[in-house]
Amino acid sequence: MTTPDLDAYWMPFTSNRQFKKSPRLLTRADGMFFTDDRGRQILDGIAGLWCVNAGHNRPRIVKAIQEQAAELDFAPPFQMGHPKAFELASRLAKLAPEGMNKVFFTNSGSESVETALKMALAYHRVRGEGQRTRLIGRERGYHGVNFGGMSVGGMVANRKMFGTLLAGVDHIRHTHDLARNAFSVGQPAHGADLADDLERLVALHDASTIAAVIVEPVAGSSGVLIPPQGYLQRLREICDRHGILLIFDEVITGFGRTGNAFGAQTFGVTPDLMTVAKGLTNGCVPMGAVFARQSVHDTFMTGPEHLIEFFHGYTYSAHPLACAAGLATLDTYEEEGLLTRASELQGYFAEQLHSLKGEPHVIDVRNIGLVGGIELTPRAGEPTKRAFDTFLDCWEQGVLIRTTGDILALSPPLIAAREDLDRMIGAIRTALRRLA
């Protein structure tokens, strides 16, 4: 295959100069595998980008998108609707944690976060508490790349180049504790008390100024940080005590990744708002959504009926192709039991992951459902380089993994077989033993 001209495309979250010297081009995908421009089969160890939960090239989803494009290619979402938007929202509400039965559609995880933050601010204003304008995120959190998500996010590299971001934002401590929790299997035993850091910010700012707290049930992009036992429950209790909305960012944990439809169900904590994307359409068509509690939604439903209740939305909200893909994706999940399959595989996956303890450079292994993280000792003077070299070695072995800092991340499609998991871990083991 002829390599295309690589010059014009400024690639996202990519070391562009390194890539264009040695490009890694994907040309096809099917099931658990990509095909690259050399014709090699590449085992997908990260479900595309945490999104292709049902595997690639699923016939039901492909057919639904094709048929929808020929039937209704676009429908304006403002003051108009189309049947599949309402059908998809109803199907999603039935999967959601109890009481979260309203769905607002977006086009990505970043847009879902912006939407949820705006909902939280508007909710308090409609209730007569417009002074609640402060938003609380968490260190090492990732909530997309728009200004709201960057502001409540806590990843330094994503923030440092972009000025002061939003005003009135603060952060609670992250939960990563290598000293006490290294090599925990599943949820770490220590760290529930870290939720009490929210009380520190309540004391500093006063609860009457705080609109919402946003956290990922499992922080994915900052290195697969698993919530300590009892942590999310305590965070929920503190928010309830002070009238603060709790937002879960489930863009990564949604749609089966932790062994249930949503992380909220795995951990037994229901938020007030919940953001999703990625697995919603199996990555086939960009789409996101925000789930809201009935009580949050109903607060907006006041005043004359002809007036718009929430001045927010996108040209492509509930796009017909995305809705068709979403419905076919839910059908695929249901037919194959994929939303709970991670609970069946997580024991074996944990065994394989934790077999890397003792391998060169490995200082921690973390897991929940079908999510795994392997933390490496940084190379002196070259932070992130050791993990990136591992990524390149695995690529040459025909396995795609992901890195964030000096952490390797795995999130295979939910259709993975044991031999697929074996191959992923084997490739990492081989790479680690070859590393300096």
pLDDT > 80? residue 436: no
> What pLDDT shows up at residue 260?
98
Task: Give the whole-angstrom CA distance, residue 31 versus residue 43.
Answer: 9
Mean pLDDT score of the chain = 97
CATH topology of domain 16-53+338-434: Aspartate Aminotransferase, domain 1 (3.90.1150)
Give me the residue spans of the domains in the chain: 16-53+338-434, 63-336
Percent pLDDT > 70 in the chain is 100
Task: Give the whole-angstrom CA distance, residue 159 versus residue 38.
Answer: 37
pLDDT, average across residues 87-95 = 98
> What pLDDT shows up at residue 238?
98
What region does 80 belong to: left with phi over 0, alpha with psi -120 to 50, or beta? beta
CATH topology of domain 63-336: Aspartate Aminotransferase; domain 2 (3.40.640)
Asked if 85 contacts 104 with a C-beta cutoff of 8 angstroms, the reply is no
> What pLDDT shows up at residue 55?
98
pLDDT, average across residues 250-279 = 98
pTM of full prediction above 0.85: yes
Alpha carbon 41 to its chain centroid, in Å, reads 26
> What pLDDT shows up at residue 396?
98
Q: Could you tell me the CA-to-CA distances from 281 to 5, 61, 264, 286 in Å, in that order?
A: 30, 8, 20, 7
Helix (H, G, I), strand (E, B) or coil at 31: strand
> What pLDDT shows up at residue 1?
72
pLDDT confidence band for 82 (50 / 70 / 90): very high
Q: Count Cβ neighbours within 10 Å for each residue of 68-87 and write b for 16 or more, e otherwise.
A: beeeeeeeebeeeebebbee
Percent pLDDT > 90 in the chain is 99
For 392-421, how does the pLDDT look when each residue is reduced to its tens digit (9 = 90+)?
999 999 999 999 999 999 999 999 999 999
Q: In what order do the strands lie in the sheet with 245-249?
A: 102-106, 288-292, 273-276, 245-249, 210-215, 134-138, 169-172
Contacts of the segment 315-319: beta carbons below 8 A, 24+ positions apart: 315/77, 316/77, 316/107, 316/286, 317/77, 317/104, 317/105, 317/106, 317/107, 318/75, 318/77, 318/81, 318/82, 318/84, 318/85, 318/88, 318/105, 319/74, 319/77, 319/107, 319/285, 319/287
pLDDT > 90? residue 2: no
Asked if 337 contacts 410 with a C-beta cutoff of 8 angstroms, the reply is no
> What pLDDT shows up at residue 3?
84
